[in-house]
Amino acid sequence: MHAEAAAWDVAAPFFETAAAGKLMLQRCDACSAIVYYPRLRCPACLSANLSWVDVSGEGTLYAYTTLKGIDDALVGIIELAEGVRVTGRVLPGDKGKVAVGDPVRWIAAAAASEDSCQVLTFAPVGGSQR
């Protein structure tokens, strides 16, 4: 998907930098809002001036459920330290479980594969104790 950046694809830098091991999101030049998912205009003020900035990749698990029968994979909503929420894949903690509120961190490796479509994969920081 991110092998060739198409001129129409406003999200290309997100996929390209993630594949290279760096998580970047847009920030609005006009109102400083961090924006996810990538857009042509800021959803806070509709400015078209958005710049790509590094983000920490750290966040907390806001909500999650298990895709039963699909490898019991975890789909989660992660609130990033920068304040935006994203949908992502969540890897289980040390004891195979996670809980809402767990600190999580973005795993660059999951985005590195050229075919990866699960760019936003997170793991509990230090392994969940649950």
Residues at the site binding other proteins, with contacts judged by CB under 8 A: 1, 11, 37, 62-68, 70, 73, 75-77, 85-89, 99-101, 117-120
Nearer to other proteins, 27 or 90 (CB): 90
CB of 66 to other proteins, least distance (A): 5
How far is residue 95 CA from its own chain's centroid?
A: 23
Nearest to other proteins of 43, 126 (CB atom): 43
Round to whole Å and give the CA distance between 114 and 61.
Answer: 26
Closest separation in Å from C-beta 86 to other proteins: 7
- The residue type of 82 is E
Q: C-beta of 84: minimal distance to other proteins in Å? A: 9
Residue with Cβ nearer other proteins (27 or 76):
76
Q: Residue 88 CB, nearest distance to other proteins (Å)?
A: 6
Distances (CA, A) of 34 to 2, 31, 43, 78, 99: 22, 9, 10, 14, 26
- Name which of 40 and 53 has its Cβ closer to other proteins: 40
With 0-12 / 13-18 / 19 or more C-beta atoms within 10 angstroms meaning exposed / middle / buried, residue 128 is buried
Cα 5 to its chain centre, rounded Å, is: 19
